[in-house]
Amino acid sequence: MSDAPTPTDPNPTDPAPDTQSDAPNLAAERWDWPRKELPVGISHFKSIRQEKAFYADKTQYLFQLVQEPGWNFLARPRFFGKSLLVYSLECLLKGQKELFNGLWIADTDYSWTPYPVIRLEMSLYDSMDVKGMDERFTNRLSCIAEKENVKLKATNAGETLTRLIELLYQKTGQKVAVLIDAYDKLILRRLRTPKEAQEVLDFLRDFYGTLKTSEDLLSHVFITGIMRLAFATIFPKLDKLKDITFAEEYANVGGFTEAELDNLFSRVGDKALRHFRYHHERFKDYIGFKDVKIEGVEYLRGLLKKFYYGHTFVNQTLGDPNIDDQSRLYNPFAVFRFLEEGQVESYWIEWGSPSHFMDLNGRRDENVFQVITKPQTLNAAQNYITDVKAIDPVTLLFQTGYLAIKEVKPNPNGPPDYLLFMPNQEIRDWLIPLADPKAKK
């Protein structure tokens, strides 16, 4: 029988000798970590709650969204909680109260009235051309109709959406909620081929425009994405749509605040530390950590702040980005992956890097190179994309999360100016050599 220490060993973090007979020591330490508690890449709210995985309670923002029926638009970089927000909003609007037990909203006077919901995750319906996209959208809407037991004669995507809204309203007597996640994903995938991007944009503009036809039958419309395309470009008919991207009351709707990271570490910190020490002892000679002393969880917190922190989504004057912890956020996907893997890697870059940035490789774009040598300033009025065939690189880098707001400078004659910077080491290590292969990190 092995005499390897169990998870209750009083010294579970002592380095194991590098011998074959002591391999169980490392194995026991390796597996003593909260894999099931970290919803890595999981955006299904119902699964997270049923499996009792960690959830940063964002239900106060859901409450704000549903209190007054409205049409709202939110843009955030990839892996900042948009899909989870949409799924949780769907569960809320369907009245699935049991999933919210113990959360902030459970102690409010929310009515839990169930609404019929149409949720569309646009990234799932890609095709070689817009005709194929139309067919995939139509099939998705037909599946929703079948699930809701309403008979729907499918035609094209726009007409099918309009008819489905009518049928759901007639069946339930309740107005319908429409939730659209990743509204711009099919355009982002084609930015390297501007003609195709414009064709897809034209198709989506017509599709989204059909919501106007059903305006009186809709209780809520919520649309998320990465890019802030000018509403006149993509939503010209949706005059009720409100952009809450930089609304102060929604600043922390995605990402982890310091307080939320405190909650996560109070739950998994000790196990995560043992897991990190396991990797450190095993790979320290390869990753250059030979002389590093991992004293406690504060060491892990320091790495998280250095590599995966710094974004903010407020349209007001900010303090020093190194000390103003109230408005700046951690990337949740990177945090989970860091704890899962037990080491520093470019997790957000690896999974979230848009392919069109590869066009910068091999050519030095002066606008992008400037972010290395001096901060860039972007006026808030310019923080919209009006033409997908001619996108300013700095605007795109900002909207996709590779640049963040360092300071907001009020402008007495108009919208404020954003002083931009690369918010953390993960982004600097990627962006600097991409913009100029000769530059040092």
Could you tell me the CA-to-CA distances from 183 to 161, 250, 307 in Å, in that order?
15, 19, 29
Q: What pLDDT, on the 0 to 100 scale, is given for residue 257?
A: 94
Contacts of 161 (CB under 8 A, 6+ apart): 118, 137, 141, 207, 210, 211, 214
Percentage of residues in the chain having pLDDT higher than 90? 55
Q: What pLDDT, on the 0 to 100 scale, is given for residue 14?
A: 36
pLDDT in tens, 330-358: 999 999 999 988 888 999 988 765 555 54
Binned at pLDDT 50, 70 and 90, residue 431 comes out as: confident
Q: What pLDDT, on the 0 to 100 scale, is given for residue 273?
A: 86
What mean pLDDT is predicted for residues 316-339?
76
Contacts of 264 (CB under 8 A, 6+ apart): 54, 56, 256, 335
Q: How far apart are CA 237 and CA 229, in angstroms?
A: 14
What mean pLDDT is predicted for residues 18-35?
43
- The type of residue at 439 is A
Q: How far apart are CA 403 and CA 423, in angstroms?
A: 7
Binned at pLDDT 50, 70 and 90, residue 35 comes out as: low
The values of phi and psi at residue 219, to 5°, are -90, -45
Q: Where are the domains of the chain?
A: 57-250, 255-347, 353-435
What mean pLDDT is predicted for residues 393-409?
88
Q: How far apart are CA 185 and CA 181, in angstroms?
A: 9
Q: What pLDDT, on the 0 to 100 scale, is given for residue 34?
A: 56
Cβ atoms of 422 and 394 within 8 Å: the answer is no
Task: Report angle CA 143, 148, 154 to the nearest 5 degrees.
Answer: 45
Q: How far apart are CA 161 and CA 178, in angstroms?
A: 10
In the chain, what are the helix, strand and coil shares in percent, each to the nearest 5?
50, 10, 40
The H-or-E segment that residue 415 falls in is strand 414-421
Class of residue 330 by CB neighbours under 10 A (exposed 0-12, middle 13-18, buried 19+): buried
Cβ atoms of 394 and 403 within 8 Å: the answer is yes
Q: What pLDDT, on the 0 to 100 scale, is given for residue 164?
A: 97
Nearest of 71, 47, 49, 62 to residue 93 by alpha carbon: 62
Nearest of 57, 89, 53 to residue 74 by alpha carbon: 89
- On average, the pLDDT of the chain sits at 84
Q: How far apart are CA 425 and CA 441, in angstroms?
A: 9
Percentage of residues in the chain having pLDDT higher than 70? 80
Q: What pLDDT, on the 0 to 100 scale, is given for residue 42?
A: 87
Task: Supply the angle between the helices 59-67 and 82-93 in degrees, to the nearest 10.
Answer: 60
Q: What pLDDT, on the 0 to 100 scale, is given for residue 19?
A: 34
> Which stretch of 160-169, 247-256, 288-297 has the lowest confidence by average pLDDT?
288-297
pLDDT at 386 over 80: yes
Highest mean pLDDT among 64-78, 83-97, 300-314: 83-97
| Token code pair at residue 165 | 């809204």
Beta strands in 104-217 (DSSP E): 117-121, 176-181
Q: What pLDDT, on the 0 to 100 scale, is given for residue 47?
A: 93
Beta strands in 233-311 (DSSP E): 241-243, 309-311
| Neighbour count for residue 235 (Cβ, 10 Å) | 23
> Which stretch of 132-141, 231-240, 399-408, 428-437 has the lowest confidence by average pLDDT?
428-437
Q: How far apart are CA 418 and CA 210, in angstroms?
A: 35
What mean pLDDT is predicted for residues 194-213?
95
Q: What pLDDT, on the 0 to 100 scale, is given for residue 253?
A: 95
What mean pLDDT is predicted for residues 127-154?
93
Measured in whole angstroms, how far is the alpha carbon of residue 125 from the centre of its chain?
19
pLDDT at 266 over 70: yes
Highest mean pLDDT among 295-309, 372-386, 426-440: 295-309
| Neighbour count for residue 112 (Cβ, 10 Å) | 13
57-250: CATH architecture: 3-Layer(aba) Sandwich (3.40)
Class of residue 353 by CB neighbours under 10 A (exposed 0-12, middle 13-18, buried 19+): middle
Letter string b/e over residues 375-410, b meaning 16 or more CB atoms within 10 A of that residue's CB: ebebebebbbbeebeebebbbbbbbbbbbbbbbbee
Nearest of 319, 352, 418 to residue 81 by alpha carbon: 352
Higher pLDDT, 206 or 361: 206
The tokens 């839990």 sit on which residue? 112
Q: What pLDDT, on the 0 to 100 scale, is given for residue 376?
A: 82
pLDDT at 400 over 60: yes
> Which stretch of 38-47, 59-68, 72-81, 361-370 has the lowest confidence by average pLDDT?
361-370
Q: What pLDDT, on the 0 to 100 scale, is given for residue 17?
A: 34
Strand, coil or helix: 202: helix
pLDDT at 130 over 90: yes
Beta strands in 154-208 (DSSP E): 176-181
